[in-house]
């Protein structure tokens, strides 16, 4: 493998000059720069990132910890984080915990400070705030992303999205259409990560004078299969519902599946709305109405905050960034109730 010294020898310059050209720093003449880049190209030189990290005492990477890479939202979010990180000169490591607290802690111990300069952790039901605080106390910058209750920030630097408002927007949309026989499928347990989305929906419906008793609610996991099973249970237990709110797009897609299996036409017989706006939402037929989260903005804010944390002085105040509010995206899965 070609070395930096060999490239320098071929270009007739020092190794430091080659390094400055590749990192676009220092004062290097245009002719020298062209000569170095030509030698790099002809010799097929590629920087050794591990060696650079050892020399400088820090890796040029950020880590992103997600709960399940099988959830389409996380690859989409990882792509946005990578784009933002590359603009700042960082590479990205993606760590998948499979909703396993032990695996999350193992990743944090292995990655934090050794393989990455800092860690972005996606908020989820199994995230251990104490483990993240411990990592931060050891000097590893940590940012918690997609915190869902900005009014009650965690004891960590965080990027928050007001997802209570997502529930409000979904409820207001269904109420405007004239729905009064409503149900909801929650992609977490009652005290889990989706509780504020559901609370926003329930509060808005009840303020409008529409009943939403506990028998109209179903809880489960953030998957298509759980959404389908919950919808079968809900629609069998509460006949005559005209609309269902799901706290995420994956359970909402499961509701669409259940409706098809029961011979219900969407939206003529049943309106369905979700939250997030993953790619599948507009690719489904009927296309899913949803409340879109500001994914790209949250990713950018998380990367910028992590870079600030990397260079910040110890014991500085905990930062919090709040994204733009979620927005309603109306598609073919919602309409006025029949009759």
Q: Where are the alpha helices (DSSP H) in 208-244?
A: 224-237
CA triplet 15, 17, 20: central angle to 5 degrees?
A: 115
Specify the CATH number for the domain of residue 32. 1.10.260.40
Q: Are residues 281 and 198 in the same domain?
A: yes
Q: Are residues 91 and 199 in the same domain?
A: no
Q: Are residues 115 and 143 in the same domain?
A: yes
Residues near 204 by Cβ (< 8 Å), separated by ≥ 6? 167, 168, 171, 172, 175
Query: Which pair of tokens denotes residue 218?
Result: 């179903």
Share of the chain above pLDDT 90, in %: 71
Residue 75 lies in a domain: yes
Q: Does residue 54 carry a pLDDT above 50?
A: no
Looking at the chain, how many residues does it have?
339
Q: Where are the beta strands (DSSP E) in the chain?
A: 61-66, 91-96, 118-122, 142-147, 158-160, 182-186, 217-219, 243-246, 271-276, 289-292, 320-322, 327-329
Q: Are residues 230 and 143 in the same domain?
A: no
pLDDT in tens, 257-273: 999 999 999 999 999 99
Q: Does residue 114 carry a pLDDT above 60?
A: yes
Q: What pLDDT is stored for residue 190 in this prediction?
A: 94
Q: Does residue 233 carry a pLDDT above 70?
A: yes
Q: Does residue 113 carry a pLDDT above 70?
A: no
Q: Are residues 68 and 142 in the same domain?
A: yes
Residue 331 lies in a domain: no
Q: Which residue has the higher pLDDT, 186 or 311?
A: 186
pLDDT in tens, 13-35: 998 898 888 777 778 888 898 89
Mean pLDDT score across all residues of the chain: 92
Share of the chain above pLDDT 70, in %: 96
Q: Cα separation of 205 and 291, whole Å?
A: 16
Residue of 98, 99, 102, 159 lying closest to 321 (CA atoms): 159
Q: Does residue 305 carry a pLDDT above 50?
A: yes
- Number of domains, the chain: 3
Q: Are residues 156 and 173 in the same domain?
A: no
Residue 330 lies in a domain: no
Per the structure, the complete domain to which residue 116 belongs is given by: 61-162+294-325
Residues near 56 by Cβ (< 8 Å), separated by ≥ 6? none
Confidence band (pLDDT; 50, 70, 90) for 59? Answer: low
Q: Does residue 43 carry a pLDDT above 90?
A: no
Q: Are residues 234 and 315 in the same domain?
A: no
Q: Cα separation of 330 and 46, whole Å?
A: 48
Q: Does residue 58 carry a pLDDT above 70?
A: no
Calculated CA dihedral for residues 177, 179, 185, 187, nearest 10 degrees: 30
pTM over 0.85: no
Q: Cα separation of 229 and 233, whole Å?
A: 6
**b/e code 172-193 from CB counts within 10 Å (16+ = b):** bbbbebebebbbbbbbbeeebb
Region 242-249 average pLDDT: 98
Query: Which pair of tokens denotes residue 248?
Result: 């995420």
pLDDT in tens, 120-135: 999 988 888 999 999 8
Query: Which pair of tokens denotes residue 335?
Result: 């309409």
């Amino acid at each position: 493998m070609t070395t930096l010294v060999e490239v320098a020898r071929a270009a007739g310059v020092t190794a430091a000059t080659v390094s400055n050209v590749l990192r676009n720093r220092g004062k290097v003449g245009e002719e020298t720069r062209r000569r170095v880049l030509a030698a790099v190209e002809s010799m097929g030189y590629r920087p050794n990132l591990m060696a650079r990290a050892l020399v400088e005492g820090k890796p040029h990477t950020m880590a992103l910890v997600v709960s399940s890479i099988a959830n389409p939202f996380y690859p989409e979010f990882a792509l946005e984080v990578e784009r933002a990180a590359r603009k700042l000169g960082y590479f990205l490591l993606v760590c998948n915990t499979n909703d396993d607290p032990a695996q999350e802690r193992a990743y944090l111990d292995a990655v934090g400070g050794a393989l990455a300069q800092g860690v972005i952790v996606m908020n989820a039901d199994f995230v251990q705030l104490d483990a993240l605080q411990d990592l931060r106390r050891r000097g590893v910058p940590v940012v918690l992303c997609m915190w869902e209750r900005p009014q009650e920030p965690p004891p960590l630097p965080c990027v928050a999205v007001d997802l209570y408002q997502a529930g409000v927007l979904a409820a207001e949309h269904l109420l405007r259409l004239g729905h009064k026989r409503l149900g909801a499928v929650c992609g977490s347990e009652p005290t889990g990560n989706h509780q504020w989305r559901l609370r926003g929906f329930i509060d808005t419906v009840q303020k409008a004078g529409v009943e939403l008793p506990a028998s109209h609610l179903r809880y489960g996991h953030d998957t298509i299969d759980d959404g389908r099973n919950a919808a079968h249970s809900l629609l069998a237990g509460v006949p005559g519902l005209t609309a269902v709110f799901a706290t995420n797009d994956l359970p909402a897609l499961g509701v669409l599946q259940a409706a098809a299996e029961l011979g219900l036409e969407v939206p003529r017989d049943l309106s369905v709305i979700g939250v997030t706006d993953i790619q599948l939402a507009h690719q489904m037929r009927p296309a899913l109405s949803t409340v879109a989260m500001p994914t790209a903005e949250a990713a950018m804010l998380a990367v910028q905050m992590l870079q600030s944390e990397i260079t910040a002085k110890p014991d500085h105040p905990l930062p919090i960034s709040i994204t733009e509010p979620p927005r309603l995206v109306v598609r073919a899965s919602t309409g006025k109730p029949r009759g």
